[in-house]
Amino acid sequence: MNQKYLEKEIEKYARDILQARNFNRTKTFIQHGNMTVHMHCMNVAKYSLLFSKKLDRLGIHCKKRALIRGALLHDYFLYDWHDPDHVKLYNLHGFKHPFVALRNAKRDFGVTSREEEIIQKHMWPLTVIPPTCREAWIVSFADKWCSILETLHFHKGTGVVRIETGK
Ligand SMILES: [Fe+2]
Ligand SMILES: [Fe+2]
């Protein structure tokens, strides 16, 4: 499965998200190292698709639309979590950002209950209550996988992009 195929699938199910100015603001925030939140979320969506394809072959099927949209929006918190002001304001980023992301996603796009589950539970076990759908398990695993690759610099980003902000 190549990059072009994965990008086409994401585009097919989430064109509105990809084109939204507020979503593109995630290009201005760093996740780990030189990796923007935007690129991280794209990678998590791609790995979620890859893992779901593998499960497909085992007869375990997923709702692709929810999987992709939930993956893209799982870190839609829209602030720089490295900024000292935000560290103070958003203390305990690890615990709180799934709920901030969910609030923003509901406001800007509306989310299904499955997408809500994906966003809210992606930090499990930090957020204690485990995911209740397989799409949320897949995104949670893909997120951890991508974070490890970013931290070990196997995934390299291109740094922040300066863009006009606003929705
Ligand atoms: Fe996250
Ligand atoms: Fe993430």
The environment of the single-atom ion ligand 2, i.e. residues with CB closer than 5 A, is 75, 143
d(CA 120, CA 140): 10
Q: Model confidence over 95-131: pLDDT tens digits?
A: 889 999 999 999 999 999 999 999 999 999 988 899 9
Per-residue pLDDT, 164: 58
Q: Is the pLDDT of residue 35 over 70?
A: yes
CA of 109 to the centre of ligand 1 (A): 18
Class of the CATH-defined domain 3-151: mainly alpha
- Say if pTM beats, i.e. exceeds, 0.95: no
Half-sphere exposure of 128 (CA within 13 A, CB side): 2
Tell me 2's DSSP state: -
CA of 166 to the centre of ligand 2 (A): 22
Q: Where are the domains of the chain?
A: 3-151
